[in-house]
Each structure stands twice: as C-alpha cells, then as structure tokens.
Amino acid sequence: MPKKKIEALEEVKRNYVRMALESGNYSSIARHAGISRTTLTKWIKEYEDEVREQMEDPTSVILSTEPTKEELKAKYEHAMKLLGEKELEVAMLRNLLKKTQYRP
C-alpha cells in the first residue's frame, strides 16, 4: 500500500528544497533541516519542478531561515489575502447550498 503523504510535511520539504535551490548550498540547508544531504537530494528530485514553478510566481513568498521583518510582513499579507479568498469561497458555497436545499 502506498504511503499517505501529509500535506504539512510535504510543504516543509518543498520549503527546504526551495532554500537549497535558491542558495545552492545543499549541505548547509541539509544541516539546518537536520537531515542528510542524500535525503535533501531525494526531496529535490521529487519536488524540483514544482518548486521552480513556484519560485517564478511573484506572489509566492517563502521565509528564509532567519526572516526579516519585511519577509514576515509579506508572508502575512499573502496569507491574509488567501484567507480572504477562502472565506469568500466558503460564503458563496454556503449561499449556494442554502438555495439548493430550500427549493420547493
């Protein structure tokens, strides 16, 4: 049976892959993550295409190992925008659900 992937852990892996690709220093990132360089290399093989696409997206923000106040603010603003979009989506779906349930 294939292993079930936990999305939060996959996101952490993608973040380390991105840091490694941005810095080019795989060994340092692996040490920081507390994993072997071999493990990081496996993650890079698995997520590189996806991470490179994300890196090209100007709205995509990732925190460095020691984020600055500006990085934290950008990440917060991005998260708030996504939260607002999700809240709007939920409200629209609830409204649609009410309309479909109360049809005579």
**pLDDT, position 63:** 54
Q: What is the full per-residue pLDDT of the chain (104 aa) written as tens digits? A: 556 777 778 888 888 898 888 888 899 999 988 999 999 999 999 999 888 888 777 666 555 567 788 877 887 887 888 888 888 988 888 888 887 776 65
CA 27 to CA 38: how far, in whole Å? 9
**pLDDT, position 70:** 84
pTM assigned to the model: 0.52
Instruction: Transcribe the chain into DSSP letters.
Output: -PPPPPHHHHHHHHHHHHHHHHH--HHHHHHHHTS-HHHHHHHHHHHHHHHHHHHH-TT-----SS--HHHHHHHHHHHHHHHHHHHHHHHHHHHHHHHHHT--
**pLDDT, position 39:** 94
